[in-house]
C-alpha cells in the first residue's frame, strides 16, 4: 500500500490502477517466494564454499590416520581425509534439500488475489514467466494460504545447522588439551578475560550454539501454521521474522565454519602418539580370521581373547608373538602381521566407500572435480 501511495504522489490517477486484480495476499506470498528463492541460492553457494574448504583441508593432510569413534569410544582407524569428506557428503545432501525446496516453491501466486481469483482478463502465465517462476499456482486458495515452502526451507536450514553443530562439536573436542588433535590459528581463537594461557575455539562453539536458533525458527513456524484455516489469516504476518533470522544465522554459520577450516592445523605427532590406545586394529584382525575360513562370531571371540591378553600385558596386538596368537587359535599364521597395526588396517579396507587409501583417493578426486578445485591448491 505504501508503494501504491508513493506512486500516486508521483504520477497521479494512473497509479490507482496498480492494484487491479491484485491483493496484498497474493502479492506478499509472491514477494516472499522470490525472497526465499534468492536466499536459497545464497545459502547453497556458501555450502559449496565450505565443502571446498573441507576438501582442500583433506587434500593437504594425505595419509594422516586418526582414531575413529563410536559412542565416543575408540573404534577403528580411519584416514582424516575420510572423516572430513563425510562432512562434505552431508553438506551435499543439505544443498540438495535446499535446491529441491527451491524447485517446489518456484510457482507463482500472483493473480490469485485475496483467495478466489478474479473475473478480469489477466494473464497469470505471463506474469509467472516474467518473474522467473515455473508456472502459476493452480489453486487460488492454496496460493495465498500455503506456507509449506517456508516450513520446508526452515527444515532444510535446521538439518544443515545440525550438521554444522556436529562439526563444531568435533572440532571443539579435538582442540581441547585432552585430545590436542587440532590447533586453531590466533585469527579464529579467543583468549580468556582472566586466564592468560587460554586459546578457545569460540567460532565453532558459536556455530554449535547458533544451531539452536535455527531449529527454534522452524518450531516457531510449525506452531504458527498448525491451527490456521484456509485461506489467508493475519497470523501469517509473523512468518517473516523467523525466516529472516534463520537465513542470517545459517549464512553466518557456514561462513564461520569455512573460515575456521582454513585456519586450523592437525597435530600429526599428537595424533600418532594417540593411535596405539584402544586396539583399533582388532576388527581387522577378526576379518583376517574370516578370510581364513573362520565364522565371524568365532573370530570375534578369538580376537576378544587376544585383546584381553594384550591388556594383561600392556601391549599391542602386533606385539604378540605368533606362538602367543596360536595359543588362542591355531588358525593364525605368519601373514597375520600384514593385518596388525593401524597402517595395515587402513591398507586392508577395500569396500566401496571405505577408509582404504585407494577408496579415499577416489572420493577426494571425485569432490575436487565436482567442486572444480584447482589440483595445485
d(CA 190, CA 119): 64
Same domain as 245, residue 303: no
Which stretches of the chain are DSSP H helices?
A: 2-11, 24-59, 80-105, 124-130, 140-145, 148-174, 202-225, 240-261, 268-274, 282-291, 296-313, 322-326, 342-348, 357-370
pLDDT for the residue numbered 231: 87
Same domain as 116, residue 225: yes
Same domain as 172, residue 30: yes
Q: Are 271 and 66 in contact (CB under 8 A)?
A: yes
pLDDT for the residue numbered 44: 98
pLDDT for the residue numbered 162: 98
Q: How many domains does the chain have?
A: 2
d(CA 149, CA 28): 14
d(CA 79, CA 63): 7
d(CA 82, CA 65): 9
Residue 183 phi, psi dihedral angles, 5° rounding: -125, 115
Q: Are 78 and 68 in contact (CB under 8 A)?
A: yes
Angle between helices 148-174 and 80-105 (to 10 degrees): 170
d(CA 255, CA 49): 8
Which stretches of the chain drop beneath a pLDDT of 70?
Answer: none
Q: Are 313 and 292 in contact (CB under 8 A)?
A: no
Whether 7 maps to a domain, the answer reads: no
CATH number at residue 334: 1.10.40.30
Query: Where a domain ends, among 274, 298, 328?
Result: 274
Whether 155 maps to a domain, the answer reads: yes
Q: Could you check whether the bond before residue 231 is cis, i.e. omega within 30 degrees of 0?
A: yes
**Domain limits at 66?**
22-274
Place of cell 573441507: 54
Whether 32 maps to a domain, the answer reads: yes
Same domain as 214, residue 330: no
Whether 35 maps to a domain, the answer reads: yes
Closest CA to 110 of 124, 129, 126, 130: 124
Same domain as 134, residue 81: yes
Whether 4 maps to a domain, the answer reads: no
Q: Are 293 and 243 in contact (CB under 8 A)?
A: no
pLDDT for the residue numbered 150: 97
Q: Angle CA(139)–CA(141)–CA(143) in degrees, nearest 5?
A: 65
Same domain as 172, residue 123: yes
Whether 356 maps to a domain, the answer reads: no
Whether 13 maps to a domain, the answer reads: no
Query: Where a domain ends, among 274, 308, 326?
Result: 274
Catalytic, 163? Answer: no
Catalytic annotation, pick one of 71, 193, 312, 351: 71
Q: Are 258 and 50 in contact (CB under 8 A)?
A: yes
Same domain as 157, residue 26: yes
- Grid cell, residue 294, equals 573362520
pLDDT for the residue numbered 233: 85
Residue 201 phi, psi dihedral angles, 5° rounding: -85, 55
pLDDT for the residue numbered 322: 96
pLDDT for the residue numbered 18: 85
Catalytic annotation, pick one of 176, 187, 192, 315: 192
Catalytic, 71? Answer: yes
Same domain as 292, residue 185: no
Same domain as 159, residue 119: yes
pLDDT for the residue numbered 193: 76
Same domain as 327, residue 209: no
- Grid cell, residue 190, equals 579467543
Q: In angstroms, what is the C-alpha Rg of the chain? A: 29
Same domain as 247, residue 214: yes
- Grid cell, residue 84, equals 572430513
- The pLDDT tens digits of the residues spanning 126-179 come to 999 999 999 999 999 999 999 999 999 999 999 999 999 999 999 999 999 999
- Grid cell, residue 118, equals 478474479
pLDDT for the residue numbered 376: 80
Whether 183 maps to a domain, the answer reads: yes
The conformation of residue 120, written as its DSSP 8-state character, comes to: S
pLDDT for the residue numbered 198: 77
Same domain as 331, residue 187: no
Report in angstroms the alpha-carbon separations of 263 from 84, 94, 127, 203.
Answer: 15, 24, 47, 11
CATH number at residue 226: 1.20.200.10
d(CA 298, CA 305): 11
Let me know how long the chain is: 377
Query: Where a domain ends, among 247, 274, 301?
Result: 274
Amino acid at each position: 500500500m505504501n508503494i501504491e501511495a508513493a506512486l500516486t504522489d508521483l504520477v497521479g490517477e494512473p497509479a490507482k490502477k496498480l492494484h487491479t486484480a491484485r491483493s496484498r495476499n497474493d502479492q506478499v506470498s509472491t514477494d516472499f517466494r522470490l525472497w526465499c528463492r534468492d536466499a536459497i541460492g545464497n545459502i547453497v553457494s556458501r555450502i559449496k564454499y565450505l565443502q571446498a574448504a573441507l576438501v582442500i583441508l583433506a587434500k593437504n593432510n594425505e595419509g594422516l590416520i586418526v582414531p575413529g569413534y563410536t559412542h565416543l569410544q575408540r573404534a577403528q582407524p580411519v584416514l582424516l581425509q575420510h572423516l572430513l569428506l563425510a562432512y562434505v557428503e552431508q553438506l551435499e545432501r543439505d544443498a540438495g534439500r535446499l535446491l529441491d525446496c527451491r524447485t517446489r516453491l518456484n510457482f507463482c501466486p500472483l493473480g490469485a488475489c485475496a483467495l478466489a481469483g478474479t473475473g478480469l482478463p489477466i494473464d497469470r502465465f505471463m506474469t509467472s514467466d516474467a518473474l522467473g517462476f515455473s508456472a502459476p499456482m493452480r489453486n487460488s486458495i492454496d496460493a495465498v494460504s500455503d506456507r509449506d515452502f517456508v516450513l520446508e526451507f526452515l527444515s532444510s536450514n535446521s538439518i544443515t545447522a545440525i550438521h554444522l553443530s556436529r562439526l563444531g562439536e568435533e572440532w571443539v573436542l579435538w582442540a581441547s588439551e585432552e585430545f590436542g588433535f587440532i590447533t586453531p590459528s590466533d585469527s579464529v581463537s579467543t583468549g580468556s578475560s582472566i586466564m592468560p594461557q587460554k586459546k578457545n575455539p569460540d567460532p565453532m562453539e558459536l556455530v554449535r550454539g547458533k544451531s539452536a536458533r535455527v531449529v527454534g525458527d522452524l518450531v516457531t513456524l510449525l506452531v504458527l501454521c498448525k491451527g490456521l484455516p484456509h485461506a489467508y489469516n493475519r497470523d501469517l504476518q509473523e512468518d517473516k521474522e523467523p525466516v529472516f533470522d534463520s537465513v542470517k544465522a545459517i549464512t553466518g554459520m557456514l561462513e564461520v565454519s569455512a573460515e575456521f577450516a582454513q585456519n586450523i592445523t592437525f597435530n600429526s605427532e599428537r595424533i600418532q602418539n594417540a593411535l596405539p590406545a584402544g586396539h583399533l586394529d582388532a576388527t581387522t584382525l577378526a576379518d583376517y580370521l574370516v578370510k581364513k575360513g573362520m565364522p565371524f562370531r568365532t573370530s570375534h571371540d578369538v580376537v576378544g581373547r587376544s585383546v584381553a591378553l594384550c591388556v594383561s600385558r600392556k601391549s599391542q596386538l602386533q606385539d604378540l608373538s605368533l606362538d602367543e596368537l596360536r595359543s588362542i587359535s591355531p588358525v593364525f599364521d605368519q601373514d597375520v602381521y600384514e593385518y596388525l597395526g593401524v597402517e595395515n588396517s587402513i591398507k586392508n579396507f577395500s569396500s566401496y566407500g571405505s577408509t582404504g587409501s585407494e577408496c579415499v583417493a577416489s572420493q577426494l578426486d571425485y569432490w575436487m572435480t565436482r567442486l572444480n578445485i584447482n589440483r595445485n591448491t
